[in-house]
A and B are shown apart, each in its own frame.
Chain A
Amino acid sequence: MGVEDQLGITVRREADRVVIDLDGELDMASAPFLQSALDGAEIEPETMVVLDLQSLQFIDSTGLRAILSLRDQCRERAQQFAVTRGSPQVQRLLDITGVSEHLQTPTA
């Protein structure tokens, strides 16, 4: 099973935001692909970027770092960054590490 199969990334544009949908596992092997997806999406400044974690089954500390890195990059580009709730395992890691308090959830 190749790494591309472990993490599915879909980028879709909605009216007021760009949504990056993650499906599968975000870990040391697959995290670099998230960065590539963000780079490739060419998002304009002042657009909201939403990371959709509802289908994300697993995340480790490398994945966490990748998400925080995305948040910082969006901040630098004056883009709002928000993260949906993920599966119980994902939420558990976000809560234990205190990261969930620092991530916005998308409005509506």
Chain B
Amino acid sequence: MTEKAPPRDIAVELLVEAGAVMASSLDLATTMQQVAQLTVPRLADLCTIDLCDDAGGAIREVAVASADVGLAHDLEAMRRRHPLDPDGEHPVARVIASGEPMLLAEMNDVLMRSFAQGSEHARFMIEHRYRSVAMAPLVARGRTLGALSVLRLGDCEPYCGEDLDLACELARRAALAIDNARLYSEVRQVEQRLAAILVNLAEAITLMDAQGRMVFANQAAAELLQASSPEELMRARPGSIMERFLVLDEHGRELALDQMPGRRLFKGERPQPLLVRNIVRATGEERWLIVRSSPVTDPESGRVLFAVNVFENITEVKRAQLAESFMAEASRVLASSMDYSDTLQGVARLAVPQIADGCAVDVVNEHGEIERVAIYHRDPAMVALARRLDRGYRPAPGDPAGVPEVIRSGRPRLYAEVDPDALAAYATDNEHLELLQGIGARSVIIAPLAAPARTLGAVTLICSDSGRRFSHADLGLAVRLARRAGTAVESARLYTERNRIAHVLGAALLPESLPAVPGVQIEALYRAAGELNDVGGDFYDVLPYGVDRWLLVIGDVCGKGPRAAGVTALARHTLRAAAMLGQTPTGMLGTLHRALRSQPMGADLCTASLVTLRHAGTGQPAQLTVTLAGHPPPLVIDESGQATQVGRPGTLLGVIDPIDVAEVETQLRPGETLLLYTDGLPEAGRSDHRLGEQELLALCAEAPGLDLAAMLARIEQMALRQAQGMLRDDIALLAVRLC
């Protein structure tokens, strides 16, 4: 039996010691065990602390203390076998459920059997002579977390009200300590789980707090944000990382730090993903990123604790998309007028600031001199400076470097980073050097104005004040642009007005060359119906479309002439861009349909046929999907010459809304041929002497014996014969044979 010291002294002593224990360590289990231990033997023979998981959840014992170690051990074991039922009659469960303390000063066997969790539990309590128990709820922030129970065994002084008060006081303090420890532990667990996941993700992810500090960043984020390690990011002063970049929106306007989605989350907003153009100040490298931010909120207060920022790098796709739309626009500008110095100036304006800070075009005139025909820069002062430079220091055809060299060699030049020493060497005198330095070009591309037979001039692009630098991707686009412009200049000099338009636009309608696809032969043929000036609306394309997969496109825009050709360019480039974005065939046709319907001047109709081809390996059939939008179905010609139409009819594009198209799967076996064609083919001929589909099928019977090019030539001849030399509409043929 315990020695009876003055109760108040015991109480004070106990509470002081418990306080010290609870302040010393945040490891929950250890703390509770120590607290329980403190009550033995001063206040109890046995002490247990039970916690419940969330409201009405399971009850777990976290601490058992007793002078008799064997008893503590046995109780733990038994509780594991018979956990307390939260809805049951056991006093601890009732204390937890009600949140109210309970005193059972003197218990007898009958009482204990009434709330025992089974006969083993009853026997345990009786054998160990449970006598008196005081139970206090552990309550913090209005929630009951569990209960603290003190027990006396055998012949003992029963607990009284003061003992219960003491137990409640102890429990109140223990509850606070548990609450704090739990919060700490939860946050640690979440942090660890998060870290484990994020470290390995390929996407760049950062976790930012309300002060703008990065509390977490993964390796991909470190690379994207130009840091040597995630730790460097986490050590950085808030906002200092962003200073490494020039951040612009889609339209080239600079974005402030507080416009970034992560910052806006802390202001209570729900920001949409943001597309940014991000330029590394140190290197001029440009990236396109989509920034998405989501909040981590405090479950109690709803306050935003952290912002999770995910940065998706879409540079390649975005570049490709911009390049296609730029080329479509440039083609239209070049075709808009006969005066090529006008149209080249238009193209220079178009290029700035989208692809460069400054653009100039030089052309070789009839005397062999290099003449400046277009100049444009974001800054009008720069235009004036460039003019002075041009007047004072005109490049001569024999110059070793610069525009004259590109014109002579026909090869483009990329100066990603202009070397000041090289510039000084290039300058002929001090004033020349001063003017060049005034322009401040950091990065230069010179691309040849290439006509089929010769180089007619050059397009010069510079990056100066924007901080951007050119890369090889930019060089590719510049070369395409300069080639298109070269055709425009050539056409202006050689053709009449109407023919020129057709020639320029014609270049936009058909691919420069067909790609080589391993294991597959591809041939195409285009036969215009009328004069060169009546360019029609047929187009075709062969594009890479994912891994080992290709996309074949054929289409037909309603009408003839420059307007139709413009729409054809739009159709071709829209499908190319949509394919690069990874849209499905159905998606691509939907995109084109919407683009056609949003044209300002009335309905532009277009039919199209998309075939995807996935090649498995030599000797294996290729998997095809065929999607038709108002277009005649392609033919699969087998090795015996039997032709079958494939695909399901779909709605034509541009007028009826919504469109109804379906992707149909089929195969192309080795030795088989896929033929795509436009309506000009079956329509060849007049009235009742039309070629028709039957003749076409008959011709296919001969196909296996002919090589692809010969087969297409035969089809063309047949159509011309039927039409007596006068085709009604253009014919485009695209054939694929699996080897």
Q: Which of A's residues lie within 8 Å of B, judged by CB? A: 25, 27-28, 57-58, 60-62, 64-65, 68-69, 89, 93, 95-99, 101-102
Q: Which of B's residues lie within 8 Å of A, judged by CB? A: 556, 558-560, 603, 605, 607, 628-633, 649-652, 655-656, 659-660, 679, 683, 687-688, 690, 728-729
Query: Which residues of chain B come closer than 8 Å to A96, judged between CB atoms?
Result: 607, 628, 630-633, 649
Q: How far apart are A98's CB and chain B's nearest CB, in angstroms?
A: 4
A64 to B632 alpha-carbon distance, docked (Å): 15
Query: Which residues of chain A come closer than 8 Å to B650, judged between CB atoms?
Result: 98
Select one of A25, A61, A95, A101 contacting B605, CB under 8 A.
A61
Q: How far apart are B537's CB and chain A's nearest CB, in angstroms?
A: 9
A65 touches B683 (CB 8 A): no
A61 to B564 alpha-carbon distance, docked (Å): 12
Select one of B559, B607, B683, B729 contacting A97, CB under 8 A.
B607
A93 to B693 alpha-carbon distance, docked (Å): 12
Q: How far apart are B603's CB and chain A's nearest CB, in angstroms?
A: 6
Query: Which residues of chain A come closer than 8 Å to B633, judged between CB atoms?
Result: 96
A102 touches B649 (CB 8 A): no
A65 to B652 alpha-carbon distance, docked (Å): 11
A5 to B626 alpha-carbon distance, docked (Å): 40
A98 to B652 alpha-carbon distance, docked (Å): 6
B630 touches A65 (CB 8 A): no
A65 touches B655 (CB 8 A): yes
A97 to B679 alpha-carbon distance, docked (Å): 11
A102 to B650 alpha-carbon distance, docked (Å): 12
B655 touches A68 (CB 8 A): yes
25 chain-A/chain-B pairs, Cβ below 8 angstroms: A25-B687, A28-B560, A58-B683, A60-B679, A60-B683, A61-B559, A61-B652, A61-B679, A62-B558, A62-B559, A65-B655, A68-B655, A68-B656, A89-B690, A96-B628, A96-B630, A96-B631, A97-B649, A98-B630, A98-B649, A98-B651, A98-B652, A98-B656, A101-B660, A102-B656
Query: Which residues of chain A come closer than 8 Å to B729, judged between CB atoms?
Result: 60
Query: Which residues of chain B come closer than 8 Å to A62, judged between CB atoms?
Result: 558-559
Closest A residue by C-beta to B655: A68
Query: Which residues of chain B come closer than 8 Å to A25, judged between CB atoms?
Result: 687
B556 touches A95 (CB 8 A): no
Query: Which residues of chain B come closer than 8 Å to A98, judged between CB atoms?
Result: 629-630, 649-652, 656, 659-660
Closest A residue by C-beta to B558: A61
Query: Which residues of chain A come closer than 8 Å to B631, judged between CB atoms?
Result: 96
Query: Which residues of chain A come closer than 8 Å to B688, judged between CB atoms?
Result: 57
Query: Which residues of chain B come closer than 8 Å to A93, judged between CB atoms?
Result: 679
Closest A residue by C-beta to B557: A61
Query: Which residues of chain B come closer than 8 Å to A28, judged between CB atoms?
Result: 559-560
Query: Which residues of chain A come closer than 8 Å to B652, judged between CB atoms?
Result: 61, 64, 97-99
A68 to B629 alpha-carbon distance, docked (Å): 17
Query: Which residues of chain A come closer than 8 Å to B659, judged between CB atoms?
Result: 98
B605 touches A64 (CB 8 A): yes
A60 to B684 alpha-carbon distance, docked (Å): 12
A60 to B683 alpha-carbon distance, docked (Å): 9
Candidate in A58, A61, A69 with the most chain B CB atoms within 10 angstroms? A61
Q: How far apart are A10's CB and chain B's nearest CB, in angstroms?
A: 20
A101 to B649 alpha-carbon distance, docked (Å): 11
Query: Which residues of chain B come closer than 8 Å to A69, judged between CB atoms?
Result: 603
Q: Closest 3 A-B residue pairs measured CB to CB?
A: A98-B651, A97-B630, A61-B558
Query: Which residues of chain B come closer than 8 Å to A99, judged between CB atoms?
Result: 630, 651-652, 656
Given contacts A97-B607, A97-B652, contact A65 B660 (CB under 8 A): no
Query: Which residues of chain A come closer than 8 Å to B660, judged between CB atoms?
Result: 98, 101
| A-B contacts besides A96-B632, A98-B629, 17 pairs, CB < 8 Å | A25-B687, A27-B728, A28-B560, A57-B687, A58-B683, A60-B683, A61-B556, A61-B652, A65-B605, A69-B603, A96-B628, A96-B630, A96-B631, A97-B630, A98-B649, A98-B651, A101-B660
Query: Which residues of chain A come closer than 8 Å to B556, judged between CB atoms?
Result: 61
B687 touches A58 (CB 8 A): yes
Closest B residue by C-beta to A95: B649
Query: Which residues of chain B come closer than 8 Å to A64, judged between CB atoms?
Result: 558, 605, 652
Q: How far apart are A4's CB and chain B's nearest CB, in angstroms?
A: 16
A62 to B536 alpha-carbon distance, docked (Å): 13
A69 to B656 alpha-carbon distance, docked (Å): 11
Select one of A68, A89, A101, A102 contacting B603, CB under 8 A.
A68
A101 to B683 alpha-carbon distance, docked (Å): 22
A61 to B631 alpha-carbon distance, docked (Å): 11
A32 to B631 alpha-carbon distance, docked (Å): 24
